[in-house]
Chain A
Amino acid sequence: MPSVALKLTQEQAQAQKPVLRVEDLHTYFEVRRMGFFKVGDVRALDGVSFELYPGETISIVGESGCGKSTLAKTILGIHQPTKGKIYFEDQDLSALNKEGWKQYRSNIGYIMQDPYGALPPFMSVKQILEEPMKINGIKDKKEHARRIRQVLEEVKLAPIEDFLPKFPHMLSGGQQQRLVIARAMILEPKMLIADEPVSMLDASVRIEILQLLQGLQRRHNLAIIYITHDLSTVRYFSERIFTMYGAKIIEKSSTKALLKEPLHPYTKALFEATSDPDAENLKTFKDVPAGEPPSLMNPPAGCRFHPRCKYKIKGLCDQEIPPEFQVYEDHSTACWLYKDKARA
């Protein structure tokens, strides 16, 4: 895609102050028996740290139940973190009062997986787009009209007048998702969280939506967290990729470095499992680990991937939790295989 060249390089992005800083974030959900006795915790997020810069996209890949949506929802304030801190432009979120939260939320746009489920069926396009402005105290009708016009133009729902009175069921899947994006953009946020924004859409529309997001990012210098299970889209869309497994980030890398050489055995397996359209695939079997992701109530000791890992080191991987090893400047992984290869 030609747009890639126009984007900020990672160094340029990081010269700025981070929009979002997440430190050692834990989100646990209590499990109760008979609604009363606590029997344990589901550790949906277990020690996640990273920084997100303006104009940058971080992709978070992993399978269902790895904690990627919990991460999004904890950042959005839908779930309360059990431990750890989130800073938005150096402001500690845990110190915010009600008004501060409202302010903060208006700075993040949220795009969810199922566009139809995300749009109230009884509201017209105009009402859907006015709602966030009403809630956030923008009362001027002229300003409403101006912003609605601007976002609809940006998401290419044209002619605008035709779309304003329509209801969500009158739009196609791709148009619905564009409306969701328009709604996320109407308060002019600094950051977008896109949770599987294209996985419900047809292949021919997916790229259109991703390119649309990319265009918005360029024009508004948006920071984007792109959550997906589909590795093949990330190369076209992000500067950095994090892999999550069992509620932890197990690999952090620039997109370029990861595509060249995935380090963690789990990321390698994800690569192996992704099929590019190629008739040669018919002739070979995929070398992927059997088994299931770990229970987050009783995660295995040591590395959470060790029961499925063919490279595991007995006595180490099954006992001690691997720390993050910085293998290359732009590439780190939490895997014991790299303990001797880490940079000082």
Chain B
Amino acid sequence: MSNNVLLDVRNLKLHFRTRSGPVQAVDGVSFQLRQGHTLAVVGESGCGKTSLAKAILRLLPRNVTEYSGSVIFDGEDIMKYDDEKFRREVRWSKIALVPQASMNSLNPVIRIEDQLMEPLLIHEDISKQEAAKRVRDAFGVVGLPLDFLGRYPFELSGGMRQRAAIAMALASNPKLVVLDEPSSALDLLTQANLMNVLKRIKHEYKTTFILITHDIGTASELADEIAVMYAGEMIEYASAEYFYTDAHHPYSRKLMASVPTLREDKELGFIPGQPPSLINPPTGCRFAERCEQRFAKCSTHPRVTKLENGATVQCWLYDEDETGEVKHA
């Protein structure tokens, strides 16, 4: 492990059992994330982005049939930990999660302060006073007034509750924070304020984030790297700068073209068809059926190709064949 890679995920798989067959929610995802960087995982509903977060944090439902691969966090393969060790040493103390709609996941009958202190008291051997101080600090970091600590969740607005949930995740000083759709349930201005807060935390505390979102526009506010997921696979991974100017995978390009922009007038497109079922996904490229650039080779599963700037793309168009010739550049 070198050049401060904090998280190194290799061939991570998470399959669920359902009545109609196994669902391959996360199917062989690999990526690396450096300390202090933010990775935005984007994709449409049902592409496996939330399952990826759950797989990293090992928050699994009961119907898991396959959970394999390696997750090397801070130099150690945490997949090898047993559940008890994982719970005590990793979850929440090293990797914290701000779940989807977390503003509504606060317990309505417990005061904010007590709720935020709870994970600290469970995971760390510290006094109540110490925990209270840490919670107050975290409240300051997310920009909430301290007198809100004594209130109940219903006395706070949606944006404030969301910030409280983020404060809860930050209070334990985790090395990695996973944010699952942190702002999509919020109003536009509240959302922009929240992104400002996250951006400030990122700059000042060098926190590493994984941001899971369906909103490519909002993702650009925080992301250093972008990962695009489609049908359980990570089909493109690139630095944000590279991705926003020149996405490579045909799906990423189509997705970018379907995002309306406020500041420039552009021709909008949409992607006909639907993503494949994850129960029996096609054996070849999973996007092939909807892809305008497909060719014979697409009926076999594409390899991951490395592009310049460390970007990777899982598409035959960029693969060098035996003759060393790239089909498309």
Contacts and interface: CB of A to CB of B under 8 A. Distances in A.
A95 interface: no
A282 B222 contact: yes
Taking residues whose C-beta sits less than 8 angstroms from the other chain, chain A's interface range is 35 or more
A176 B267 CA distance: 25
B4 interface: no
Contacts of B224: 282
B192 interface: yes
Interface string A198-237: 0000111111100100000000000000000111110110
Interface string B56-99: 00000000000000000000000000000000000000000000
A236 B268 contact: yes
Contact of A277 (B192, B244, B270, B271): B244
Interface stretch (B212-220, B278-286, B319-327): B212-220
Given A235-B260, A277-B220, A286 B192 contact: yes
B175 to A, nearest CB: 21
B245 A279 contact: yes
Interface stretch (B102-110, B129-137, B166-174, B183-191): B183-191
Interface in B150-204: 157, 159, 187-193, 195-196, 199-200
A290 interface: yes
A324 B269 CA distance: 38
Contacts of B223: 282
Interface string B16-54: 000000000000000000000000000011000000000
Contacts of B187: 63-64, 229, 293
Given A204-B254, A207-B260, A276-B261, A232 B217 contact: yes
B259 A203 contact: yes
A278 B274 contact: no
B243 interface: yes
B267 A1 contact: yes
A290 B143 CA distance: 11
A174 to B, nearest CB: 8
A272 interface: yes
B51 to A, nearest CB: 17
B149 interface: no
B221 A292 contact: no
B120 interface: no
B262 A63 contact: no
Contact of A229 (B188, B243, B256, B272): B188
Contacts of B267: 1
A77 B261 CA distance: 34
B255 A270 contact: no
Given A172-B274, A292-B157, A203 B189 contact: no
Given A204-B44, A282-B220, A277 B259 contact: yes
B142 to A, nearest CB: 13
Given A202-B45, A207-B269, A278 B244 contact: yes
B270 A211 contact: yes
**Quick one: which of A211, A235, A269 has the most chain B CB within 10 A?**
A235
Contact of A288 (B45, B192, B240): B192
B217 A204 contact: no
**Quick one: which of A206, A230, A286 has the most chain B CB within 10 A?**
A286
A279 B241 contact: yes
Given A285-B199, A286-B195, A279 B243 contact: yes
12 contacts: A1-B268, A202-B214, A203-B215, A207-B260, A208-B270, A275-B215, A275-B217, A276-B220, A276-B261, A277-B216, A279-B244, A282-B224
Given A205-B271, A273-B192, 7 more contacts: A204-B254, A211-B268, A275-B195, A275-B217, A281-B220, A282-B199, A292-B190
Across the A-B interface, the 6 shortest Cβ-Cβ residue pairs: A273-B192, A204-B271, A63-B187, A208-B270, A275-B217, A202-B44
Interface of A: 1, 63-64, 172-174, 202-208, 211, 229-233, 235-236, 259, 269-279, 281-282, 285-286, 288-290, 292-293
